[in-house]
A = this chain, B = another copy of it.
Amino acid sequence: MDLIEIFKALGDENRIRILNLLIRQELCVCEIETVLDMTQSNASRHLNKLKTSGIITSEKKSQWVYYRVDNKFIEENNLLYEFIKNKMAENTQLLRDIETLKKYKNSNFTCEQLREDKSQVLKYLREQCNNN
């Protein structure tokens, strides 16, 4: 049942956190990895689960793979999609993640810098977020 696969995909904290970011904007794996502070393989796996259940889709741009919410999913599951967005707006953890995403985007760190010194970027993001 499609319905059940969707609910299974949504029934995991890491995947909800990823989806929360992707609802804001499309992102590549290394960005998600950084903002949510999870391992690369874990991010990739969760993205795959969201993709297999039809919630998100991906596009390869040179060496990066960009993920975004699938428009087909939004159309076909609009009530669910609106529900998710509403509930996400009430959740502190998810709001914090959005703040981290904003800080990350404002920092103008690139995927190249992430590669060179990820720990510095993470430190920067934590400091910025603690200032709020």
Residues from chain B with a CB closer than 8 A to the CB of A1 are 13, 16, 91, 93
- Whether A13 touches B4, Cβ cut-off 8 Å, given contacts A77-B83, A79-B86, A82-B79, is yes
| A12 to chain B: closest residue by CB | B4
Residues from chain B with a CB closer than 8 A to the CB of A93 are 1
When the two chains form their complex, are residues B4 and A7 in contact, meaning their CB atoms are under 8 A apart? Answer: no
Copies of this protein in the assembly total: 2
Majority SS at the chain A contact face: helix
Residues from chain B with a CB closer than 8 A to the CB of A12 are 4
- Chain A 16-36 residues near chain B, CB threshold 8 A: 16
Contact-size category for A: 20 to 34
Residues from chain B with a CB closer than 8 A to the CB of A8 are 7, 11
A80 within 8 A of B: yes
Nearest-neighbour CB distance to chain B for A112, whole angstroms, equals 34
Task: Mark A residues whose CB is within 8 Å of B.
Answer: 1, 3-4, 7-13, 16, 77, 79-80, 82-84, 86-88, 91, 93
